[in-house]
Amino acid sequence: MRSEKGSSGLKLRIVLLGEKGVGKSAIAVRFLCGRYLHEYDPNLECCYDKHEIIDGKTVKIEIFDTAGQDVLDNYLKNADAVLYVYSITSEKSFAAAKSFREELLLGDKSHIPVILLGNKRELEQGRQVSYKDGFTLARETNWKFYEMSAAVDTHRINDMVLNLASELLAETKKSNRQRRTWKIKRAMSILNVHIHQPKHSSFPSVLMPLTENKTDPPRSPALPQHPRLANRRQTCPAL
Protein backbone atom coordinates (compact mmCIF):
# COMPACT_ATOMS: atom_id res chain seq x y z
CA MET A 1 0.00 0.00 0.00
CA ARG A 2 1.33 3.44 -0.86
CA SER A 3 0.43 7.12 -0.39
CA GLU A 4 -1.62 8.47 -3.21
CA LYS A 5 0.12 11.27 -5.09
CA GLY A 6 -1.37 14.71 -4.43
CA SER A 7 -3.69 13.45 -1.74
CA SER A 8 -3.52 12.55 1.92
CA GLY A 9 -5.09 9.15 1.25
CA LEU A 10 -3.63 5.74 0.55
CA LYS A 11 -3.80 3.69 -2.59
CA LEU A 12 -4.00 -0.05 -2.98
CA ARG A 13 -3.59 -1.57 -6.41
CA ILE A 14 -4.82 -5.13 -6.81
CA VAL A 15 -4.00 -6.97 -10.02
CA LEU A 16 -6.38 -9.71 -11.17
CA LEU A 17 -4.66 -12.62 -12.88
CA GLY A 18 -5.82 -16.01 -14.11
CA GLU A 19 -6.71 -18.02 -17.18
CA LYS A 20 -9.20 -16.84 -19.77
CA GLY A 21 -12.86 -17.18 -18.76
CA VAL A 22 -12.33 -17.91 -15.05
CA GLY A 23 -14.34 -14.84 -14.05
CA LYS A 24 -11.75 -12.09 -13.42
CA SER A 25 -13.91 -9.35 -14.94
CA ALA A 26 -16.98 -10.67 -13.13
CA ILE A 27 -15.10 -10.40 -9.82
CA ALA A 28 -13.85 -6.88 -10.62
CA VAL A 29 -17.36 -5.71 -11.53
CA ARG A 30 -18.85 -7.37 -8.45
CA PHE A 31 -16.40 -5.59 -6.16
CA LEU A 32 -16.38 -2.20 -7.89
CA CYS A 33 -20.03 -1.88 -8.92
CA GLY A 34 -21.77 -4.45 -6.69
CA ARG A 35 -23.34 -6.13 -9.73
CA TYR A 36 -22.92 -9.22 -11.88
CA LEU A 37 -21.16 -9.02 -15.22
CA HIS A 38 -24.24 -9.00 -17.47
CA GLU A 39 -25.85 -6.20 -15.42
CA TYR A 40 -22.91 -3.93 -16.17
CA ASP A 41 -22.47 -1.93 -19.35
CA PRO A 42 -18.89 -0.75 -19.82
CA ASN A 43 -20.14 1.78 -22.39
CA LEU A 44 -22.35 3.48 -19.83
CA GLU A 45 -20.17 3.37 -16.75
CA CYS A 46 -16.58 2.77 -16.05
CA CYS A 47 -15.35 1.42 -12.78
CA TYR A 48 -11.69 1.08 -12.01
CA ASP A 49 -11.47 2.10 -8.40
CA LYS A 50 -13.41 2.60 -5.25
CA HIS A 51 -12.80 4.62 -2.09
CA GLU A 52 -13.24 2.83 1.22
CA ILE A 53 -12.70 3.92 4.81
CA ILE A 54 -10.48 1.31 6.40
CA ASP A 55 -9.46 1.61 10.04
CA GLY A 56 -10.22 5.34 9.88
CA LYS A 57 -8.17 5.94 6.72
CA THR A 58 -9.45 6.63 3.22
CA VAL A 59 -8.06 4.03 0.86
CA LYS A 60 -8.46 4.17 -2.89
CA ILE A 61 -8.68 0.58 -4.08
CA GLU A 62 -7.77 0.14 -7.72
CA ILE A 63 -8.62 -3.12 -9.44
CA PHE A 64 -6.51 -3.84 -12.47
CA ASP A 65 -8.32 -6.42 -14.59
CA THR A 66 -6.04 -8.21 -17.05
CA ALA A 67 -6.67 -10.22 -20.17
CA GLY A 68 -3.47 -12.22 -20.38
CA GLN A 69 -1.83 -10.45 -23.29
CA ASP A 70 1.12 -8.93 -21.44
CA VAL A 71 4.13 -10.39 -19.66
CA LEU A 72 3.71 -11.06 -15.98
CA ASP A 73 6.45 -8.63 -14.91
CA ASN A 74 4.59 -5.67 -16.40
CA TYR A 75 1.52 -6.50 -14.35
CA LEU A 76 3.43 -7.07 -11.16
CA LYS A 77 5.52 -3.90 -11.39
CA ASN A 78 2.96 -1.70 -9.66
CA ALA A 79 0.96 -4.35 -7.84
CA ASP A 80 0.45 -4.13 -4.09
CA ALA A 81 -1.33 -7.47 -4.16
CA VAL A 82 -2.47 -10.10 -6.64
CA LEU A 83 -5.84 -11.80 -6.81
CA TYR A 84 -5.14 -15.02 -8.69
CA VAL A 85 -8.38 -16.53 -9.99
CA TYR A 86 -9.07 -20.04 -11.20
CA SER A 87 -12.39 -21.73 -11.82
CA ILE A 88 -13.32 -24.73 -9.68
CA THR A 89 -14.77 -26.21 -12.88
CA SER A 90 -11.44 -26.11 -14.70
CA GLU A 91 -8.47 -28.27 -13.78
CA LYS A 92 -6.50 -26.43 -16.47
CA SER A 93 -7.03 -23.05 -14.79
CA PHE A 94 -5.83 -24.55 -11.48
CA ALA A 95 -2.70 -25.93 -13.16
CA ALA A 96 -2.06 -22.37 -14.37
CA ALA A 97 -2.18 -21.20 -10.74
CA LYS A 98 0.61 -23.68 -9.94
CA SER A 99 2.68 -22.35 -12.86
CA PHE A 100 2.06 -18.82 -11.62
CA ARG A 101 3.47 -19.82 -8.24
CA GLU A 102 6.63 -21.17 -9.93
CA GLU A 103 6.98 -17.98 -11.97
CA LEU A 104 6.73 -15.85 -8.85
CA LEU A 105 9.35 -17.91 -7.07
CA LEU A 106 11.71 -17.89 -10.05
CA GLY A 107 11.22 -14.17 -10.62
CA ASP A 108 11.98 -13.45 -6.96
CA LYS A 109 8.53 -11.93 -6.52
CA SER A 110 7.27 -14.14 -3.74
CA HIS A 111 7.05 -11.14 -1.38
CA ILE A 112 3.93 -9.89 -3.22
CA PRO A 113 0.79 -10.78 -1.23
CA VAL A 114 -1.43 -13.17 -3.17
CA ILE A 115 -5.00 -14.30 -2.68
CA LEU A 116 -5.86 -17.52 -4.47
CA LEU A 117 -9.52 -17.48 -5.44
CA GLY A 118 -11.46 -20.49 -6.69
CA ASN A 119 -14.37 -18.89 -8.56
CA LYS A 120 -17.73 -20.33 -9.71
CA ARG A 121 -18.16 -22.27 -6.48
CA GLU A 122 -21.93 -22.60 -7.01
CA LEU A 123 -21.28 -24.91 -10.00
CA GLU A 124 -20.72 -27.86 -7.66
CA GLN A 125 -21.87 -30.46 -10.22
CA GLY A 126 -19.08 -29.39 -12.60
CA ARG A 127 -16.33 -29.24 -9.97
CA GLN A 128 -12.89 -30.42 -11.13
CA VAL A 129 -10.76 -28.90 -8.36
CA SER A 130 -11.40 -29.85 -4.76
CA TYR A 131 -11.46 -27.31 -1.96
CA LYS A 132 -8.59 -29.24 -0.34
CA ASP A 133 -6.36 -28.87 -3.43
CA GLY A 134 -6.90 -25.10 -3.54
CA PHE A 135 -6.36 -24.79 0.19
CA THR A 136 -3.15 -26.88 0.07
CA LEU A 137 -1.63 -24.92 -2.80
CA ALA A 138 -2.31 -21.67 -0.97
CA ARG A 139 -0.96 -22.95 2.34
CA GLU A 140 2.27 -24.20 0.76
CA THR A 141 2.95 -20.72 -0.56
CA ASN A 142 1.59 -18.72 2.36
CA TRP A 143 -1.23 -17.29 0.25
CA LYS A 144 -4.75 -16.65 1.43
CA PHE A 145 -7.41 -18.86 -0.06
CA TYR A 146 -11.12 -18.48 -0.75
CA GLU A 147 -13.73 -20.21 -2.86
CA MET A 148 -16.38 -17.84 -4.13
CA SER A 149 -18.84 -17.08 -6.85
CA ALA A 150 -19.00 -13.75 -8.64
CA ALA A 151 -22.46 -14.85 -9.75
CA VAL A 152 -24.11 -15.47 -6.37
CA ASP A 153 -21.84 -14.11 -3.63
CA THR A 154 -22.84 -10.49 -3.42
CA HIS A 155 -20.88 -9.44 -0.30
CA ARG A 156 -18.10 -11.98 0.15
CA ILE A 157 -15.87 -10.52 -2.58
CA ASN A 158 -16.24 -7.12 -0.97
CA ASP A 159 -15.40 -8.49 2.49
CA MET A 160 -12.39 -10.37 1.11
CA VAL A 161 -10.90 -7.24 -0.53
CA LEU A 162 -11.57 -5.09 2.55
CA ASN A 163 -9.89 -7.68 4.79
CA LEU A 164 -6.87 -7.66 2.53
CA ALA A 165 -6.78 -3.84 2.53
CA SER A 166 -7.05 -3.78 6.31
CA GLU A 167 -4.15 -6.24 6.69
CA LEU A 168 -1.96 -4.36 4.23
CA LEU A 169 -2.75 -1.08 5.99
CA ALA A 170 -1.72 -2.60 9.33
CA GLU A 171 1.54 -3.79 7.75
CA THR A 172 2.19 -0.36 6.23
CA LYS A 173 1.67 1.25 9.64
CA LYS A 174 3.99 -1.29 11.24
CA SER A 175 6.78 -0.78 8.70
CA ASN A 176 6.39 3.04 8.97
CA ARG A 177 6.76 2.70 12.74
CA GLN A 178 9.85 0.53 12.28
CA ARG A 179 11.30 3.07 9.83
CA ARG A 180 10.68 5.90 12.35
CA THR A 181 12.31 3.88 15.15
CA TRP A 182 15.27 3.13 12.90
CA LYS A 183 15.65 6.87 12.08
CA ILE A 184 15.55 7.77 15.78
CA LYS A 185 18.13 5.08 16.59
CA ARG A 186 20.35 6.30 13.78
CA ALA A 187 20.08 9.92 14.99
CA MET A 188 20.91 8.76 18.54
CA SER A 189 23.96 6.85 17.35
CA ILE A 190 25.22 9.91 15.41
CA LEU A 191 24.67 12.02 18.52
CA ASN A 192 26.53 9.45 20.56
CA VAL A 193 29.54 9.67 18.26
CA HIS A 194 29.67 13.42 18.89
CA ILE A 195 29.32 13.03 22.65
CA HIS A 196 32.22 10.59 22.73
CA GLN A 197 34.52 12.57 20.47
CA PRO A 198 38.19 11.60 20.75
CA LYS A 199 40.26 13.97 22.98
CA HIS A 200 41.88 15.99 20.22
CA SER A 201 39.09 16.00 17.73
CA SER A 202 38.67 19.16 15.68
CA PHE A 203 34.90 19.02 16.42
CA PRO A 204 33.74 20.45 19.75
CA SER A 205 32.10 17.97 22.09
CA VAL A 206 28.33 18.38 22.47
CA LEU A 207 28.70 18.34 26.26
CA MET A 208 31.30 21.10 26.41
CA PRO A 209 30.26 24.00 28.68
CA LEU A 210 29.28 27.08 26.76
CA THR A 211 30.97 29.51 29.23
CA GLU A 212 34.13 29.08 31.12
CA ASN A 213 35.34 30.72 34.35
CA LYS A 214 38.14 30.14 36.79
CA THR A 215 36.03 28.88 39.70
CA ASP A 216 34.27 26.34 37.50
CA PRO A 217 36.99 24.50 35.61
CA PRO A 218 36.03 22.90 32.33
CA ARG A 219 35.27 19.21 32.64
CA SER A 220 36.41 18.25 29.18
CA PRO A 221 40.02 17.03 29.32
CA ALA A 222 40.39 18.24 25.76
CA LEU A 223 40.42 21.87 26.93
CA PRO A 224 43.75 23.27 28.25
CA GLN A 225 43.86 23.72 32.04
CA HIS A 226 45.24 26.66 33.90
CA PRO A 227 48.54 25.44 35.50
CA ARG A 228 47.49 26.78 38.96
CA LEU A 229 44.23 24.84 38.85
CA ALA A 230 46.06 21.72 37.78
CA ASN A 231 48.34 22.00 40.84
CA ARG A 232 45.41 22.54 43.19
CA ARG A 233 43.67 19.48 41.76
CA GLN A 234 46.62 17.34 42.88
CA THR A 235 46.43 18.59 46.51
CA CYS A 236 42.71 19.05 46.86
CA PRO A 237 40.71 15.97 45.67
CA ALA A 238 37.41 17.86 46.09
CA LEU A 239 38.17 19.95 43.03
Ligand X SMILES: Nc1nc2c(ncn2[C@@H]2O[C@H](COP(=O)(O)OP(=O)(O)OP(=O)(O)O)[C@@H](O)[C@H]2O)c(=O)[nH]1
Binding footprint of ligand X on the chain (CB under 6 A): 18, 20-26, 37, 67-68, 119-120, 122-123, 149-151
Q: Which of residues 5-24 bind Mg ion (CB under 5 A)?
A: 24
Element (H, E) at 147: strand 144-147
CB of 182 to Mg ion, least distance (A): 43
Candidate segments 25-33, 95-103, 126-134, 155-163, binder of Mg ion by CB under 5 A: 25-33
Please give the sequence-ordered ranges of beta strands (E in DSSP) within 55-130, or none if there are none. 57-65, 81-87, 114-119
- Minimum CB separation of residue 159 from Mg ion in Å reads 22
* R_g over Cα of the chain: 31
CA distance 100 to 208: 62
- Exactly one of 17, 22, 25, 83 binds Mg ion (CB under 5 A); that residue is 25
Gap between the Cα atoms of 79 and 64, Å rounded: 9
Among Mg ion, ligand X, none, the one that 219 touches (CB under a kind-dependent 5 to 8 A) is none
Task: Answer with the entry of Mg ion, ligand X, none that 22 interacts with (C-beta below 5 to 8 A by kind).
Answer: ligand X
The residue (of 127 and 144) whose beta carbon lies closer to ligand X is 127
Q: Smaller CB distance to ligand X: residue 79 or 149?
A: 149
103, 120, 112, 110: which is closest to 26 by C-alpha? Answer: 120
Minimum CB distance to ligand X, residue 38 (Å) = 7
Indicate the pairing of strand 81-87 with strand 10-18: parallel
Cα–Cα dist 122/117, whole Å: 14
Q: In the complex, what is the shortest distance from the CB of residue 135 to Mg ion, in angstroms, rounded to a whole number? A: 25
- Residue 151 binding: pick among Mg ion, ligand X, none (C-beta 5-8 Å cut-off by kind): ligand X
Distance CA 128, CA 120 (A): 11
Cβ proximity to Mg ion: between 1 and 90 the closer is 90
Q: Long-range contacts made by residues 67-70, C-beta under 8 angstroms, separation at least 24?
A: 67/20, 68/19, 68/20
Q: Which is nearer to Mg ion, 28 or 115 (CB)?
A: 28
Least Å distance, CB 149 to ligand X, is: 4
Binding residues for Mg ion, per CB under 5 A? 24-25
